[in-house]
Amino acid sequence: MNISIQTADFDLAAELAALRTGRAQIGALVSFTGLVRDFSENGTIGNIYLEHYPGMSEKALEKIIIEANERWQLLGVRVIHRVGELHPNDQIVLVATASSHRADAFAACEFIMDYLKTSAPFWKREQTEQGAKWLDTRESDVERAKRWDKQEDTQ
């Protein structure tokens, strides 16, 4: 299964090894790891709490991966999103893409992450010295995701 939503941490090296081992047509392996920062506009972060919409979150990620496969020549994709309570410096999300050449792997990894941010149902609550706050979708994330729409329109 290439999608996991879990409370447990993940081992980046083990995930990348699993994606490429025994598949010599892969020439490029790109990964993005998202981490919990210790700061935000609300202050110093003590912890964050992540929740998701079981059933829909898996479906939404699957849809994003299907679209990535339609746009680029991919030989493998792995997405892990953690939920529950996390602390600064913890890993939150992994997106890894494998392809014969780097251009497709780079682009697909960024596309999946950008779409995940705006279309997969996950919610983050940040705990700072100011109290707890559910975060909004960032406008900059919406803009990043839109860039891929525009590209599709001009093709």
Partner 1 sequence: MKIKLLYFGRPRENLRLSNETAELPAGVATVADLLALLRARGPEWVGELAENRVRCAVNQELGALSAPLHDGDEVAIFSPISGG
What does the binding site for partner 1 look like in residue numbers (CB under 8 A)?
A: 34, 50-53, 55-56, 59-60, 81, 92-93, 113, 116-125, 134-138, 141
The CB density around residue 47, as the number of other CB atoms within 10 Å, is 15
Q: Which is nearer to partner 1, 73 or 130 (CB)?
A: 130
Q: Which is nearer to partner 1, 61 or 75 (CB)?
A: 61
Smallest gap, in angstroms, from Cβ of residue 3 to partner 1? Answer: 13
Q: Buried (b) or exposed (e) across 71-97, using 16+ Cβ within 10 A?
A: bbebbbbbbbbbbeebeeeebbbbbbb
Smallest gap, in angstroms, from Cβ of residue 65 to partner 1? Answer: 15
How far is the C-alpha of 21 from the C-alpha of 12, rounded, in Å? 14
Structure tokens at 58: 């898996």
Smallest gap, in angstroms, from Cβ of residue 24 to partner 1? Answer: 32
Residue 60's alpha-carbon distances to 23, 54, 56, 87, 94, in angstroms, are 27, 10, 6, 26, 16
Kind and range of the H or E element at 64? helix 56-71
3-state SS, residue 75 = coil
Smallest gap, in angstroms, from Cβ of residue 113 to partner 1? Answer: 7
Q: Which is nearer to partner 1, 17 or 143 (CB)?
A: 143
Q: Which is nearer to partner 1, 19 or 93 (CB)?
A: 93
Q: Pairing mode, if any, of strands 3-6 and 76-82?
A: parallel
Smallest gap, in angstroms, from Cβ of residue 35 to partner 1? Answer: 11
Q: Which is nearer to partner 1, 30 or 93 (CB)?
A: 93
